[in-house]
């Protein structure tokens, strides 16, 4: 049996807690969205494994000059596809980051996530969070991780003959 609607809502709330924590400088809250051996993987900033490395990244995001250009923005995610069974799941979603620039709000990041989530002590957490630029520079960069079986819900796909 697949994940329940309640599980899917809890996984979406996990993403919301993750975004709000990093955007507000809550390193402890951000790290708490991961398992103890959780992994954050980004082509832009690198791979961080385990609570200590994750806490260092979240803290440096708000203290180190390297990340200054990203502070004060908001991470937004959309169009989640959540699949799984029991206590394990997969989350695919898009990710945008917006920043204030003078009198305007500009998009500074457009990416896609392919995440592994697990339920630990009755709470969903990220086991692995993979962030990739979108659109991908190549099919290899996108990889099969972002391929999802399409469903033609409107009946618009051309008929195929067998």
Most confident of 25-39, 58-72, 90-104: 25-39
In 3D space, the residue among 84, 149, 70, 85 whose CA is nearest the CA of residue 115 turns out to be 84
Q: What is the pLDDT of residue 159?
A: 45
In 3D space, the residue among 79, 86, 40 whose CA is nearest the CA of residue 60 turns out to be 40
Q: Indicate the average pLDDT of the chain.
A: 86
> For the segment 121-161, what is each residue's pLDDT rounded down to a tens digit?
999 999 999 999 888 775 555 444 433 333 333 334 444 44
How does strand 123-133 pair with strand 34-42? parallel
**The pLDDT of residue 105 is above 80:** yes
List C-alpha distances in Å: 109 to 37, 44, 123.
27, 11, 29
List C-alpha distances in Å: 126 to 34, 75, 114.
4, 17, 11
Task: Give the global pTM.
Answer: 0.82
């Amino acid at each position: 049996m697949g994940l329940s609607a309640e599980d899917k809502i809890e996984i979406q709330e996990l993403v919301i807690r993750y975004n709000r924590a990093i955007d507000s400088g809550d390193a402890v809250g951000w790290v708490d969205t991961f398992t103890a051996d959780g992994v954050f993987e980004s082509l832009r900033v690198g791979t961080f494994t385990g609570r200590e490395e994750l806490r260092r990244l979240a803290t440096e995001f708000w203290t180190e000059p390297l990340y200054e250009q990203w502070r004060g923005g908001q991470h937004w995610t959309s169009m989640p596809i959540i699949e799984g069974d029991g206590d394990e799941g997969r989350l695919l979603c898009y990710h945008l980051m917006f920043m204030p620039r003078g009198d305007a709000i500009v998009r500074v990041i457009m990416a896609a996530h392919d995440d592994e989530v697990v339920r630990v002590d009755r709470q969903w957490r990220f086991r692995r969070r993979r962030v990739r630029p979108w659109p991908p520079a190549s099919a290899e960069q996108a990889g099969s991780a972002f391929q999802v079986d399409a469903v033609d819900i409107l009946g618009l796909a051309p008929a195929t003959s067998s």
